Amino acid sequence: MSSNGSDEYGTGGTSLLGNAVPRREDLNLLRGKGGYVANVPMEGALHAHFVRSNVSHGEIISVETSEAEKMPGVFAIYTAENLDLADRAVILNAYEAEMTRPYLAREKVRFVGEPVAVVLAENEYLAADAAENIWVDIEPLSALVDLEEAVAGEVLLFPNLDSNIVTEIPRRKPIDFSDCEVVVEAEIINSKVAAVSIEPRVTLASFENGRLTCWASNQGAHDYRDSVAQALEMEIKDVRVIITDIGGGFGAKGLASEEEIIIAHLSRMHEKPVRWMESRTENLTGFAHGRAQKQKVKMGGNLNGEITHYSLEVIQDSGAYPKWGAVLPGSTLMMASGVYRIPNVEFSSRSVATTTAPVCAYRGAGRPEATSVIERTVDLFAREIAMDPAEVRRLNFPSPDEFPFKNSTGTVYDSGDYKKALDEALGAIDYEALRNEQSRRREENERLQLGIGISTYVEVTAGGGGSEFGLVELKDDGTFRATTGSTPIGTGHVTTWAMLVADRLGVPMEKVEVIYGDTDVVPSGEMTGGSRSVQVSGSSMADASEKLVDAARKVVADLLEASEEDIVLNKESGNFHVVGTPAVSVSWGELASSPKADQKQLIGKSDFLQEGATFPFGAHIVIAEVDIETGEAKIKRIVAVDDAGKIVNPLLATGQVHGGLAQGVAQALLEEVLYDNDGNPQTANLMDYTAISAMEVPSFDRISMETPTPLNSIGAKGIGESGTIGSTAATQNAVVDAISYLGVDHLDMPLTPQKIWSAISDKSEVRA
């Protein structure tokens, strides 16, 4: 027992929460000791290489492997004929069974990059050499790239079906625009992009003593395990998944992909370890893409700026085999009306199959698409009625006292102050002065024209709420083990969970060890995605810590011969004592070593359940300069006001916003997955797919607002996707605003110099 007010455990009375605590994960990464799958040592591992289709749509005539089988180091070669793996069940059971994707192409190929065969060899180089000598004869069929043509169905990707439509959300009730004083309409393309994680897909599987162990680069250890077990018809207890570090996911690395399941299957088949690492070209052509919506929008209102009607029709590209992408319009529907009080809203969507790579969830997953189209359309509406776009937005916000606010598609927003967020952003840039500078440049016909882009957004995080496994234990040596079901994906979970546990226990965070990512150690877990981690997983960690405190109070009461109700934890010192008498106390270290303490009792297990989603919001402003002689657009400044409820660690939150801004600017200015009319990828490497770099993203100003949610004890909402959701439309609006005085009303993303220059030239010819 301790007789003073502090010991080595005390936090000194200053809560860690809300402070910029450096990431504790980074030291190993900086030292080159990251736990990436490619670096896992495995003696005697075979290496896999996939042979992929170079035809977008066609009938497989033959796959000739005999020459490759004779090459040095080749262990085995498999095609659909001898793989002996039943085709995977339709994801979500939402699509027609005929659309089920085979593990290796069977009878037909449906996109360039689809696996046709797989080679196992002694190393990756021998496997690649052998793959070059496998001859695949394919009789080409008509490609299907255009979304309108996919809807028309003259070419059917699955001939046994009478349509290419995968899923459909019908219009609930048509609305009448006839009473509107002003109506604007547009067709807007939300371009297809790639996730471009630094680490592509990589997996290692080893089968030994009847158990399969998989090392994965994935966003959810338990979901990965379950998908492998289901596909291989194994008991869940016989599959172990280990995830340590992951070089980016952005939504694309959910569940186990077809190739990864094949690797697990081959390891079990041969009872040998098998490793596979995809190339960047495989990643860009054969993995999942994101966004990819064609949007037909119509907005109506009156001349004083009130928006009264809004209609959105979406055609969603699902790619060759329906995956998560086909259901993304559901999220677009939820957030269709954005931050605005619009009484009349209608929505419809059709998700279609095309001869391109499957579309999956990508940072924001349906919500950025909703924000981009409505924010672009609000600017068109403001231009039509000659009103400042900021003022139009103010006029149509619900007020803070209207929350919880139910939008016109039935989504209930928990909290918000949209006007305050916009005013904070406008004040930071001196909006009036910028508009005056813009007018001056236009009057003097300067080469560099100024554009100001505004985007106000609301998004949904932790959709449906939910829970996460959390367990906090006091160890024999007086330190703490915190076990979480969440899988860190580079976003700082280990630091954040240690902060939350340390705060609740009144100990330094260095005393907290965070355990994750091993299905043999962690009994359950959910996929990390949808910006759910802090509010759900973090709340679980906090809840488990509080339960450990309750368990400790029982033991301390016995030690101090007092009533349990009278025992309190002094978080400043990290000691327990009887209320009102801190002179005699028990530290966590003394508790751990006490012979009266049963370590099995000194645990806290969370049963926290968040009832429903939260709705972060904010306002982003982008200031751009456009060279009207070359079409080059440069971002000069970004101001991001983001309200994600209570922030546990502002350093990590800022990092999340920074990455999101980069990806939003990337889609707006640079990045786009392109196919020609025959379905051939035109962006198969990083020379052609212009991934963004630090050169294109300036430093940004972040203004934090905090409107706590009542749905969890932390008051936190999600922030992992906000930067992308707000910045995309703000960047697009800024560039269009810069050249709008020349008569350019709209340009689709990405706003490349060629596209901008062509639009300016076309308008110049019209004026001439």
In angstroms, rounded to a whole number, what is the distance separating the alpha carbons of residues 542 and 707? 20
pLDDT exceeds 70 at position 33: yes
In angstroms, rounded to a whole number, what is the distance separating the alpha carbons of residues 537 and 526? 9
Q: Tokens standing for 535?
A: 């509010």
- In this prediction, residue 59 has a pLDDT band, given cuts at 50, 70 and 90, of very high
Q: What string of DSSP letters covers 358-404? A: PB---TTTTHHHHHHHHHHHHHHHHHHTT--HHHHHHHHPPPGGG-S
In sequence order, the 6+-apart residues with CB closer than 8 A to the CB of 588 are: 9, 474, 478, 480, 505, 507, 552, 574
Burial class (CB in 10 A: 0-12, 13-18, 19+), 492: buried
What number of helices (H) and strands (E) belong to the chain?
18, 30
Crossing angle (nearest 10°) for helices 431-443 and 418-429 = 50
Specify the DSSP class assigned to residue 602. S
Ordered structural domains, the chain, with CATH: 26-34+464-611 (3.30.365.10), 38-141+201-277 (3.90.1170.50), 289-461+613-767 (3.30.365.10)
* pLDDT at residue 95, as a whole number: 74
* pLDDT at residue 668, as a whole number: 97
Q: Are 616 and 717 in contact (CB under 8 A)?
A: yes
pLDDT tens per residue, range 125-158: 999 999 999 999 999 999 999 999 999 999 999 9
Q: Tokens standing for 480?
A: 């703490």
Burial class (CB in 10 A: 0-12, 13-18, 19+), 304: exposed
pLDDT exceeds 50 at position 4: no
* pLDDT at residue 24, as a whole number: 94
Q: Tokens standing for 334?
A: 């939820």
pTM metric for this prediction: 0.94
**Strand blocks (E) in 195-236:** 202-208, 211-216
* pLDDT at residue 244, as a whole number: 94
pLDDT exceeds 50 at position 761: yes
Task: State the pairing for strand pair 581-587/344-353.
Answer: unpaired
- In this prediction, residue 658 has a pLDDT band, given cuts at 50, 70 and 90, of very high
pLDDT exceeds 90 at position 91: no
Q: In what order do the strands lie in the sheet with 700-705?
A: 448-458, 617-627, 633-643, 700-705
pLDDT tens per residue, range 674-725: 999 999 999 999 999 999 988 888 789 999 899 999 999 999 999 999 999 9
Whole-angstrom distance between the N-terminal and C-terminal Cα of the chain? 90
Q: Tokens standing for 143?
A: 């490609």
Q: Are 177 and 183 in contact (CB under 8 A)?
A: yes
Crossing angle (nearest 10°) for helices 389-396 and 418-429 = 160
In angstroms, rounded to a whole number, what is the distance separating the alpha carbons of residues 184 and 219? 41
A 10 A CB-CB count for 244 gives 19
Q: Residues 161, 166, 167, 168: what is their CA dihedral angle, to the nearest 10 degrees? A: -80
> Phi/psi of residue 48, each to 5°?
-105, 150
In sequence order, the 6+-apart residues with CB closer than 8 A to the CB of 479 are: 511, 512, 513
Crossing angle (nearest 10°) for helices 367-384 and 722-739 = 30
In sequence order, the 6+-apart residues with CB closer than 8 A to the CB of 321 are: 99, 100, 101, 110, 353, 358
Task: State the pairing for strand pair 512-515/567-570.
Answer: unpaired
In angstroms, rounded to a whole number, what is the distance separating the alpha carbons of residues 379 and 372? 11
Q: Are 638 and 662 in contact (CB under 8 A)?
A: no
- In this prediction, residue 94 has a pLDDT band, given cuts at 50, 70 and 90, of low
Q: Are 550 and 604 in contact (CB under 8 A)?
A: yes
Percent of the chain with pLDDT over 90: 91
* pLDDT at residue 697, as a whole number: 80
Burial class (CB in 10 A: 0-12, 13-18, 19+), 589: buried
Mean of the pLDDT values across residues 487-511? 96
- In this prediction, residue 173 has a pLDDT band, given cuts at 50, 70 and 90, of confident
- What integer best gives the mean pLDDT of the chain? 94
Strand (E) or helix (H) holding 642: strand 633-643
* pLDDT at residue 10, as a whole number: 53
Mean of the pLDDT values across residues 402-430? 96
Q: How far is CA 384 from CA 124, 155, 468, in A?
A: 59, 40, 48
* pLDDT at residue 1, as a whole number: 38
Mean of the pLDDT values across residues 353-361? 96
In angstroms, rounded to a whole number, what is the distance separating the alpha carbons of residues 732 and 716? 30
Among 353, 359, 298, smallest CA distance to 328 is for: 359
Mean of the pLDDT values across residues 239-261? 94
List helix spans (H) across 397-538.
418-429, 431-443, 493-505
Peptide bond between residue 710 and the one before it cis (omega within 30 degrees of 0): no
Q: Residue count of the chain, please give it.
A: 768
Task: State the pairing for strand pair 115-121/165-169.
Answer: unpaired
pLDDT exceeds 90 at position 766: no
A 10 A CB-CB count for 16 gives 18
Mean of the pLDDT values across residues 335-348? 98
Peptide bond between residue 595 and the one before it cis (omega within 30 degrees of 0): no
> Phi/psi of residue 388, each to 5°?
-60, 135
In angstroms, rounded to a whole number, what is the distance separating the alpha carbons of residues 410 and 710? 20
pLDDT exceeds 70 at position 468: yes
A 10 A CB-CB count for 509 gives 22
Mean of the pLDDT values across residues 56-76? 98
* pLDDT at residue 89, as a whole number: 56
Q: Are 461 and 530 in contact (CB under 8 A)?
A: yes
pLDDT exceeds 50 at position 3: no
Q: Are 618 and 705 in contact (CB under 8 A)?
A: yes
Q: Tokens standing for 539?
A: 């709340």
